[in-house]
Structure 1
């Protein structure tokens, strides 16, 4: 039994108590009708809880008292006495339900893209280890949109998650029936994303109807913004908690109008995933293993932010790719954001043809790999360094201590920006560090910024040492249980 089901039992017991109070203050005819309803409620609970001997016995006692005689034939004193005795029995039942009934938390994770599972994974790991928790991972279907906002493709990635994650098909998990105690989501957009949309059955306003603890954990690590506030999504009104990675990000949410009670500054599971990189399966395909043999490996990451904001986005990629085509002692693993081609189709169709031509050129090369997998950590693990535009991977990668060349515009490193995580210890092309300079740093093994880069980043993030998921899970669990027991005590 989960907490929600337990609370439904307590709610019914409170309703029966209210019915008994009503009966004690009204005419016998009205009292008889109400006591009959109370009886029906007790019979329902008797059937529901028949395996719980102590509760079952108390319910039988209450039913016996109510049915000991017809209310209209009792003296007023005896009638009131029976009402009082029945309420005493119900009080005992409530005490047993609260203190002795075994309660198991039901926790539901609703990812939609397998590549974003790392934003929930360390929370799931903690939930799995909790003997008083039953957790479900239900990947939800989503749709891709065209430039007109029309749905053009049904997508489901339930078969792309790690093998150690027990997946439940979305068709087999009935939210309305199960009413999970806690629901974790990492997509806050509902119908407002221009690129994709989760199935409307999983919009935040729907989910909020079936749980008392809807938790949003961002699918990204936040870097910086120019302003001190941002435009809020409608879903933020529906969630109970928002997890933030740093106090700076929490302050921005507050400045934007989010209630402080919704905000928990507990870090990011995506940082956990990078800290625990050594525990991850990095089994290579034969093709990758053969290609990287005796060579240095550079991970080249491109996100969505610069694709949308930078007119020279493709030219930058072509320049970096061309540089490595001539470096036979290096392998470049290019990892475009999983939504790159959807974004090109919808937002930048004018460069789609040239993008595909570049992919064809790379596919014919002998030292460049395009990584399309949902798991970035294999590429991170085998890489010696990272070249990246502005993205979560650039920020996460800082934790590894490996060198990073950041290909961002000058405005992204200005002093007056609002930084949610400090990435200013990286090397930057806008500060004059070229790809050739970066290769020279690798060749000479002289990463003079390493200590400063890692320390700055860790100081700017809450719980940066790999335990954020554990802290999030236990904090949410504690808040939920305290909330439920407060409600029970009031009853």
Structure 2
């Protein structure tokens, strides 16, 4: 039961108190009218009981409600026989006052997190940590099931990743927490697309328009962070943003991008109500993203190096190879297709030929294979073969774990497609190199300027592959301070405090 429901029940109890005062002060009243008023009061108290039962909280208030109903029923039965009897106003007032006191007691806010993919939990994790540490909250993590779709957009495979979340996060089954009955005060989501995603969809029960009915505050936090360099914000046109009560965006630059694409949408669709646009724009709050908070933990204490990784990252003499994190995305593969496929093979050949000097950690987008399956079954089979060949070759690490921060802890440089992953990695003060499909991976330009690359690194800017080719990464790293950059973000706590302020108003 959320705060709003508690207030609605309190309003009903106030009406019962007013009826009690009316009955106590009415000196002359017909038996028929008396019976009618008392019957109405009993019906109202039954409604209160049923509402509390719906929320699973009747036991807490059962004694006071039972006392109230017994007093009324006993009085009604007695007066029907005796014809005249003193009305027990004080006893009834006492039972209603006890009920009011219990209902008015400060309730813990019910805060529910509804992630769907475990690999995207980092976008909510630090908010959950803040909520679970807050004595005024009961926080629940409820991973929700989702479907992948076939090439025709039909639902295909059902997935549930509740068993993939960190061990320290207690999981509540989506079947054990009926949202419509529990009506939590706050619901957090990180999937805003409802039926608008061509690759996956959560159960319709968890679409944002449905969730909106179950809570006072529906909060959307993107499962990604955006690069300022990208300047594409069409993904912001989604139902989750439209239905949420508040939308948290990483910074003012990206917020402006979100707002601009919504304004353009309304210009192109003049029938869209202007007042709805204003609501969409004003609900956007630039207050960071918890994904940045996770960078605070990228250290060997939090992420000890697994033995299998250690064998590949360190040489027999104990010296460390140059570790490159390789990011491959859906967007770039969709754009370049055959060229990108050829680039992948070129990259793998480079690292295979230089495995004494480098270790490659390949982390494809978690839905990349699903997208390739939508393109063709033959291409999907070829991709699976490529993955198996990479694993068998043993010159790198294939990382499809839910938590990529282990790889970030030990990677010396980022290479590949630009995405959320690049935006996060550059905050660690290490090189982020954009791969170029038409650039030969082993190529070294005739003129190479370390100074330019150092300037880009100092500003946390993207470095193009021709500016710092892979063959030059080890020698460049020797020239710069390679000590890990410590971060101290606290966006999850900031978001939690902001939402709690809204919830308490």
TM-score, L = length of structure 1: 0.78
Q: State the partner residue of 1:369.
A: 397
CA distance 1:474–1:314, change in 2 (3 Å): same
Structure 2 counterpart of 1:285, from 306, 311, 331: 306
Larger RCO, structure (CA 8 Å, separation 6 or more): 1
Contact 2:127 2:496 in 1 (8 A): yes
Distance 1:247 1:272 in 2: 18
State the alpha-carbon separation in 2 of the partners of residues 55 and 409 from structure 1: 73
Instruction: Say which is worse superposed, 125-134 or 219-228, in terms of deviation.
Output: 219-228
Q: Does residue 403 of structure 2 align to residue 398 of structure 1?
A: no
- Residue 73 of structure 2 is aligned to residue 38 of structure 1: no
- Secondary structure of the residue aligned to 1:154 is strand
Within-5 A mapping of 1:302-451: 302-311=328-337, 312-327=339-354, 328-347=356-375, 351-407=379-435, 425-429=460-464, 432-445=467-480
Deviation, structure 1 residue 235: 3.0
Structure 1 contact 141–156 (Cα < 8 Å) conserved: yes
Distance 1:43 1:205, change over 3 A: closer
Check conservation: 1:305, 1:390, Cα contact below 8 A.
no
Matched, 1:250 2:271: no
The aligned residue for residue 270 of structure 2 is: none
Residue 170 of structure 1 pairs with residue 174 of structure 2: yes
Note if contact 1:112-1:141 (Cα within 8 Å) is conserved in structure 2: yes
State the alpha-carbon separation in 2 of the partners of residues 292 and 391 from structure 1: 25
2:427·2:460 contact (CA, 8 Å) conserved in 1? no
How far, CA to CA, are the matches of 1:175 and 1:136 in structure 2? 12
Report how many residues are paired: 451
State the distance in 1 between where 2:136 and 2:295 align.
28
Instruction: Give the whole-Å Cα distance in 2 for the aligned partners of 1:11 and 1:353.
Output: 63
Contact 2:433–2:465, Cα closer than 8 Å, also in 1:
no
Find the aligned partners of 2:192 and 2:41 in 1 and give their Cα distance: 43
Which residue does 1:415 correspond to in 2? none
- Stretches of structure 1 that go unaligned for 5 or more consecutive residues are 411-421, 459-463, 483-491
In the alignment, is the contact (CA less than 8 A) between 2:222 and 2:248 conserved in 1?
yes
2:290 to 265, 269, 286: 269
Structure 1 position 172, deviation (Å): 1.5
Could you say if the C-alpha distance between residues 31 and 476 of structure 1 is closer, same or farther in structure 2, counting changes exceeding 3 Å?
farther
SS class of match (1:193): coil
What's the counterpart of residue 323 of structure 2?
297
Return the alpha-carbon distance in structure 1 between the equivalents of residues 130 and 163 of structure 2.
Answer: 22
Instruction: State the SS of the aligned residue for 2:225.
Output: coil
Q: Which moved more, 1:60-69 or 1:165-174?
A: 60-69
Q: Shift in Å at residue 202 of structure 1?
A: 1.1
Tell me how far 1:287 sits from its aligned partner. Answer: 1.6
Per-residue CA deviation, residues 384-412 of structure 1 (Å, 9 max, x unaligned), is: 111131111110111211221122689xx
- For the 8 Å contact 1:216–1:243, the answer to whether it is kept is yes
SS state at 1:395 partner: helix
- Report the 3-state secondary structure (helix = DSSP H, G, I; strand = E; otherwise coil) of the residue aligned with 1:162: coil
1:336 & 1:227 partners in 2: Cα distance? 21
